[in-house]
Amino acid sequence: MFDEYSDLFSSKVRLRIIAALISGPKDFTTLKKLTETTDGNLGKQMEILLEAGAVHAEKEFIGRRGKTVYSLTNEGLHSFKEYVRLLEEILEKEGTKE
């Protein structure tokens, strides 16, 4: 089970995306600034999160310009919380070994 979550959240960019979306929906430009990454890398990481069902994308048009707004899905939030819980469990076990 841990491997399933660690694969999804193994990228620091994906972790930054999830952290940004916890507080609410964000557009691509805002996520790019918050994650401090390139268009291409952000696009690739968003594809991974979209395919996993962790985020949802909604396309809006302002005049003739398209704008994509991303939000965290309930499944994405649940998966992230489960990942954090598993990390805490590992840390607890390691703490009892010392």
Neighbour count for residue 15 (Cβ, 10 Å): 16
Strand partners of residue 69: 27, 58
For residue 55, what is the DSSP state? E
Dihedral sign of CA atoms 77, 18, 50, 48 in order? negative
Q: Which fold has domain 2-97?
A: Arc Repressor Mutant, subunit A (1.10.10)
Residue 6, pLDDT score: 72
Burial profile 64-77: b = 16 or more Cβ within 10 angstroms, e = fewer: eeeeeebebbeebe
Residue 3, pLDDT score: 65
Residues of the chain with pLDDT under 70: 1-5, 97-98
Residue 69, pLDDT score: 96
Residue 27, pLDDT score: 96
Residue 97, pLDDT score: 65
Residue 41, pLDDT score: 97
